[in-house]
Structure 1
């Protein structure tokens, strides 16, 4: 059972918050599940990017309370499943805590290991592309998470 999911990107203001809120939305009926996000180079205490927040809001999710957090070994230890956006994020996590190898995967694992490109400081189409990939990836994960 996956009761504690941790989503990881770099700054924790674009991709991982979008994935966190999408997973929370899609799994809202699972009241015993914790879904959170953090960054490997987090912009600590910064809100989610304005474009990411706007796209989430347009899709029925309010990320206005999000504050970026730096990943810690404790967060990694507590998580049952860790979802990263790119292979280099997984390598960083493995270096930080080698024991997470069996529970850390790419968000796009079930989409042929599709990475989710970073839309940070780009125009809205880059955010829309990232959101679409995250939406597809979270759908693909649901068959394992919604049990």
Structure 2
């Protein structure tokens, strides 16, 4: 969900950035979770039919200028597997003092909708920082 929200908000803000999403335990090639797609649709976001899960590998880590993660375990995994890129890894909730954005995987629509709202708020806090990087 974060990819769709961040790309839409960046586009609306006139930021020329490319947003990609990779997992630390991704089932490569799998479509996004149906609950996530439903939450995005209800909120007016589109992720595109072509989106498939991909595992974070060296080429993606190298290409990324910034890696935003929802949970500390994601941050730790990246820092352990790609220590040279540790400085690129930030929690989505960093600017709000939020330690983590809880992953709603395996839960229902209400939890996905709530997560989407949290992500929107956190992304709104990241946009000025992203603008400053450009």
TM-score by length of 1: 0.82
Runs of 4 or more off by more than 3 Å in structure 1?
none
The separation in 2 between residues aligned to 1:27 and 1:64, in whole angstroms, is 17
Structure 1 match to 2:37:
53
Deviation at 1:55, TM superposition (A): 1.5
Residue 146 of structure 1 pairs with residue 121 of structure 2:
no
Structure 2 match to 1:23:
6
Deviation at 1:30, TM superposition (A): 2.7
Instruction: Determine which structure has the larger helix proportion and give its number.
Output: 2
> What CA deviation, in whole Å up to 9, does each residue of 1:65-117 have, x standing for no partner?
22100110111111000001111111100111111121110011111033111
Give the gaps of 5 or more residues in structure 1: 1-17
- Structure 2 contact 38–109 (Cα < 8 Å) conserved: no
Give the gaps of 5 or more residues in structure 2: none
The separation in 2 between residues aligned to 1:100 and 1:129, in whole angstroms, is 31
The separation in 1 between residues aligned to 2:87 and 2:46, in whole angstroms, is 32
CA-atom RMSD in angstroms: 1.3
- SS of 2:29's partner is coil
Instruction: Determine which structure has the larger strand proportion and give its number.
Output: 1
